Amino acid sequence: MTDRSADFSVTVADRDRHASDPARELALDCVTAGIEAAHPAGIVADALSVEDGRLVVTTVDGETASRDLDAYDRVVVVGAGNAAGHFAAAVERLLGDRIDGGAVVTDDPVETERIAVLPGDHPIPSEAGVESARRVRSVAADAGESDLVIGLITGGGSALLAAPAAGVGLDDLRETTDALLASGATIAEINAVRKHLSAVKGGGLARAAAPADALGLAISDVTGDDPSVIASGPLSPDPTTYADALGVLDRRGVEVPPAVEKRLDRGVAGEVAETPKPGDPAFDGVAVRVVASARTALNAAREVAAARGYEPLVLSSRVRGEAREAAKTHAAVAEECRAAGEPVEPPAVVLSAGEVTVTLGDDPGRGGPNGEFALSAALELAGAGPDGEGVAVASVDTDGIDGSTDAAGALVDERLVAGNGGGDRGESGESDRLDRESAARALDAHDAYPALDDAGALLRTGPTGTNVNDLRAVVISSDGASSEGTK
């Protein structure tokens, strides 16, 4: 039995202004469809069912797994992440009174009956998150040998499930997280450090739950969908070590508080226990299944593009690296489509997902990776002449929060930056154009947010209840005018 009564729709502020021509409207519709497809309400309806007392799970790869709910004395739910509250509510609707309690921590709370939805903060951990993480760990630790722990693991869980290890304080975690985010480190690198500063990450929650069985259900926000990286793998064996964590800090030039350095040094010296590795008894009876990922969002966006008569091309679900550089590649692909009909003939939509990063210098401005991607793309298209015309680019973080801003990302086209002769965007003057010099300065200063805000290009959705990381749609019209397209 499935229940879609709580299916989610994305509301974009000033949507009509953003969707001022067919290309821009399609770019917006592609990314919003992707966000909606990854919402837990639909994911639980599609991926989970109860059949003859068994919980049946279908993964993103189409594989199935099941657990006999009637074989357990109790079923409790734990979890963390941007989507954890909505995930908990959807699982409650499915399992009802089979759930005997639980707790999840999130920054997007919803009302539930059986699972406590606790507050936390993202991307920087907070005192509220620490207390909530302790409660989540307590629920897992209270589970007995005849119980089943269902773990709801989603993007954002690394910051939200903040339970500092012995000798490490919250301020130490905050400072370390800030420095890692500013360094341009990948999520896998950041999590390698965070796992070794936590009482629950890197398999710590599985260790607390043992000897109970555990079934982790993950909504992935990481490239490759590795369960040990999603939310720092609270129910998964940790392949990284204290030495790996120190290597990240050294490689990225990150300075950390003395308490963090001391713990990592002690770990390397064997004075502090390592995180549990593959084969550890803590993982007996534990399984983690990925039920949604960036592919979920990409598939939905592709369907929207095809339905409008555009040829969809998924470039990659694993785009990573510096946001401004990734944007140059996407713009170049759009230009090649326009000039040579390769790798796809317009009208077309090039789609991608993954996680781009921004390496901040001294005194950075305000913005997030998706805003920086959009501004860089607009600059590239403005300088491309006719081959850059008729292109609209939407880039969003699917959780609705780009970096630490109040925007999900941005929607731009080749006319945003002066230099491509596209004229004003609309008769009502919905959005101002940027001059090339000021746009380039904003990009160099990692200050995309105010520039895009002044130009009316920022997309604001509020928290979306999900997180499968970045999603991008590049719409290439059939000719050089953005207002002309197949619809």
Domain residue ranges of the chain, discontinuous segments joined by +:
15-37+294-476, 40-163+198-240+275-292
Asked if residues 370 and 239 have their Cβ atoms less than 8 Å apart, the reply is no
What pLDDT shows up at residue 419? Answer: 62
pLDDT at residue 297 in the model: 98
Range 40-163+198-240+275-292 classified under CATH 3.40.50.300: no
User: Is residue 77 within 8 Å of 104, Cβ to Cβ?
Assistant: yes
Instruction: State pLDDT tens for residues 275-320.
Output: 999 999 999 999 999 999 999 999 999 999 999 999 999 999 999 9
- Compute the average pLDDT of residues 113-139: 94
Strands (DSSP E) found in 92-244? 102-106, 116-119, 147-154, 213-219
Rounded to whole angstroms, how far apart are CA atoms 288 and 294? Answer: 17
The Cα 226–Cα 220 span in angstroms is 8
Residues contacting residue 175 through CB under 8 Å, at least 6 positions apart: 256, 257, 260
Q: Which of 223, 252, 224, 237 is nearest to 354 (CA)?
A: 223
* Residues whose CB falls within 8 Å of the CB of residue 143, separated by 6 or more in sequence, listed in order: 74, 76, 149, 209, 212
Angstrom distances, CA of residue 330 to CA of 30, 97, 265, 327, 354: 16, 49, 42, 5, 13
Specify the 3-state DSSP secondary structure of 57.
Answer: strand
CA-based nearest residue to 324, from 387, 251, 395: 395
The percentage of the chain sitting over the pLDDT mark of 70, rounded to a whole number, equals 94
> Nearest Cα to 216, choosing from 194, 238, 231?
231
Question: Mean pLDDT over residues 179-185, rounded?
Answer: 89
Q: With bands split at pLDDT 50, 70 and 90, how would you rate the model's confidence at 484?
A: very low
| 400-425 confidence digits (pLDDT tens) | 999 889 999 999 999 999 864 444 44
CATH topology of domain 15-37+294-476: glycerate kinase, domain 1 (3.40.1480)
Residue 427 in this model has a pLDDT that exceeds 50:
no
Enter the DSSP assignment of 24.
H
Is pLDDT of 265 > 50?
yes
| Percent of the chain residues topping a pLDDT of 90 | 86
d(CA 380, CA 412): 11
CA distance 224 to 99: 31
| Chain segment 34-44, per-residue pLDDT in tens | 999 999 999 99
Alpha carbon distances (Å) from 286 to 21, 60, 67, 209, 213: 50, 19, 11, 10, 6
Joined tokens for residue 80: 């963390």
Tallying the residues shown for the chain, one arrives at: 487
Identify whether the C-beta of residue 447 lies closer than 8 Å to the C-beta of residue 411.
no
Q: Which helix (H) or strand (E) holds 300?
A: helix 294-307
Q: Which of 98, 101, 94, 106 is nearest to 72 (CA)?
A: 98
Question: DSSP letters of 338-351?
Answer: HHH--SSPSSEEEE
Q: What is the DSSP string of 254-298?
A: ----HHHHHHHHHHHTTSSPPPPPTT-GGGTTEEEEEEE-HHHHH
Residues 50-84: tens digit of each pLDDT: 999 999 999 999 999 999 999 999 999 999 999 99
Read off φ and ψ for residue 52, nearest 5 degrees.
55, 45
Q: Is 317 helix (H, G, I), strand (E, B) or coil?
A: strand
User: How far apart are alpha carbons 288 and 233 in whole angstroms?
Assistant: 9
Q: Is the dihedral of CA 167, 169, 172, 176 positive or negative?
A: positive
Rounded Cα–Cα distance for residues 90 and 377 (Å): 37
Whole-angstrom Cα distance, residue 10 to residue 33?
8
Query: How would you label 94-113 residue by residue, b for 16+ Cβ within 10 Å and e otherwise?
Result: bbeebbeebbbbbbbbbebe
CA-nearest of 183, 219, 179 to 197 is 179
Which pLDDT belongs to residue 480?
60
Rounded-to-10 torsion of CA 144, 146, 147, 148: 130
C-alpha 32, offset from chain centre: 14
Q: Average model confidence (pLDDT) for the chain?
A: 92
Q: How high is the pLDDT of residue 234? A: 97
DSSP bridge pairs for 149 = 76, 214
pLDDT at 481: 52
Residue 170's identity, in one-letter code, is L
